[in-house]
Amino acid sequence: MARTYIGDFCDYYKGINIPRSETDVEFDIPYLHYGDIYKLYDFKINLNTKYDKIIKIKKDVKIKPEQYLSDGDIVYTLTSETVDDLGHSTLIINKQNLDFVSGMETTIIRIRDKTNFVPEFINYLFQSDNFRQRLRQYVTGMKVFRVHPRDLMRILIDIPDTQTQQKIVSILDSLTNKIDTNRKINDYLAQFAEMYFEYMIEKCTDYKEMALTDIANYQNGLAMQKYRPIDGESSMPVLKIRELGMGCCDSNSDVCRTNIKNECIVQDGDVVFSWSGSLMIDIWSGGKCGLNQHLFKVTSDEYPLWFVFHWTNHYIGSFKEIAGNKATTMGHICRNHLEESMIICPDNEIFQIMECVLGPVFEERKHLMKEIRVLQKIRDELLPKLMSGEIDVSNLDLGS
């Protein structure tokens, strides 16, 4: 291995400071916001496949040439509200050299010698526990924590030969690519299921009308600060709005006792609905955890879960509008809004047709999301061992 400083083969540039309020997916130039690196993107972002969904800025904004992202650039977040969240990065895949701009609170790491320093390997290296621990020695701040890019450049690393770098990337990419594929399939299934559900409901002529609360139970979570483990009690992560948005719990998640009431314990495959702040509904796949207040665990004693999921999702837009009109810092809905939201339940023949399609789709989505979590865990466990050389890949044949 060769020992070198990051600054010996990398340059850094700051992203452009444009607030999210001045962006929109319908604007002109794709824009990578630091918050999206945490919530939306994993180890890499392919601009070609994400173009339609990524937020954009207007073309009349003044942008420095170095703030445009090229293929092989690494975008780093060196600012965070917690020390543990510092140092998230994503590799830019931009083969067509489309206009793409790095945003506020981001740092562009640009590798000068991509022949001897494989960008994919460097990005994985940045995500290893060992490297992130070394990064934290340069943290400054109290409420908002930062690392200056010049300090990143001062970190000394061991770099294997190019062939070994490429082998390690191949191993980790096989997992990352499978995760990305699962996410794409899951997204397609979610879109199809929503369209199919709305189509079938619209054409339904024989039905009975009920309220959302007639078909589903909406169990509110607990104020988990009252249920913290004490004296060595067993614990589990707390599912808050933050975790629901990320789709997982992490080292920054609060913990609670495990001996809370079963109705407020969330397992893989459960439906969770955030009714305050950022309103959203999703299928949980982040493992066993405790349900915090401001979230509903959605269940049903009589109807399949796909049915209550889609009807709740049907009203998300209306609920967001209600919450947005609240004169409070955290807009929310109340239980009466659920009671006033009317649904139709099709006759048995139509219901069974929908069950044959939407039931398997719902189960497949649950399977894909759980598999993503398993693959992420395998990758996260392999990453430090590969980077440290604990797992030797020098004699590994990855040909064809």
Which CATH number fits the domain that encloses residue 54? Answer: 3.90.220.20
pLDDT at residue 399 greater than cutoff 70: no
Range of the domain at 303: 207-346
Residue 173 domain-assigned? no
Rounded CA-CA distance 205/203 in Å is: 6
Q: Look over the chain and give the mean of its residue pLDDT values, rounded to a whole number.
A: 92
Output the pLDDT for position 293. Answer: 94
Other beta carbons within 10 Å of 389: 14
Helix 119-126 vs helix 162-203: crossing angle, to nearest 10: 80
| Coil, strand or helix at 323 | helix
**Residues in CB range of 280: below 8 A, 6 or more apart:** 244, 245, 273, 274, 316
Residue after which a domain boundary falls, among 127, 144, 159: 159
Residue 292 domain-assigned? yes
pLDDT (tens digit, 9 = 90+) per residue, 122-149? Answer: 999 998 888 988 998 999 998 889 999 9
pLDDT (tens digit, 9 = 90+) per residue, 155-186? Answer: 999 999 999 999 999 999 999 999 999 999 99
pLDDT at residue 329 greater than cutoff 90: no
How long is the chain?
400
Rounded CA-CA distance 213/346 in Å is: 17
**Of 122, 118, 154, which is closest to residue 135 (Cα–Cα)?**
154
CB 85 within 8 A of CB 38: yes
**Residues in CB range of 244: below 8 A, 6 or more apart:** 272, 274, 280, 282, 284, 295
Q: Please report the sign of the dihedral spanned by the C-alpha atoms of residue 335, residue 294, residue 212, residue 191.
A: positive
Cα 241 from chain centre: 12
Residue 186 domain-assigned? no
Range with lowest mean pLDDT among 50-54, 115-119, 374-378: 50-54
Whether residue 152 sits in one domain with residue 19: yes
Q: What is the DSSP string of 15-44?
A: PP---GGG-BTTSSEEEE-HHHHHHT--SE
Residue 382 domain-assigned? no
* Residue 111: its H or E element: strand 107-111
Residue after which a domain boundary falls, among 142, 159, 176: 159
pLDDT (tens digit, 9 = 90+) per residue, 282-322? Answer: 999 999 999 999 999 999 999 999 999 999 999 999 999 98
Q: What is the mean pLDDT of residues 347-362?
A: 96
- Total structural domains within the chain: 2
**Residues in CB range of 31: below 8 A, 6 or more apart:** 18, 23, 54, 55, 56, 57, 100, 101, 103
Output the pLDDT for position 78. Answer: 87
β pairing state of 271-274 and 295-299: antiparallel
Rounded CA-CA distance 131/380 in Å is: 14
Whether residue 213 sits in one domain with residue 341: yes
CB 189 within 8 A of CB 365: yes
- Nearest-5° Cα angle at 131, 129 to 133: 65
Residue type, 393: V
Residue after which a domain boundary falls, among 300, 319, 346: 346
Paired residues of 167 in beta bridges? none
Whether residue 125 sits in one domain with residue 230: no
Rounded CA-CA distance 59/28 in Å is: 6
Cα maximum dimension of the chain: 73
Q: What is the mean pLDDT of residues 269-282?
A: 94
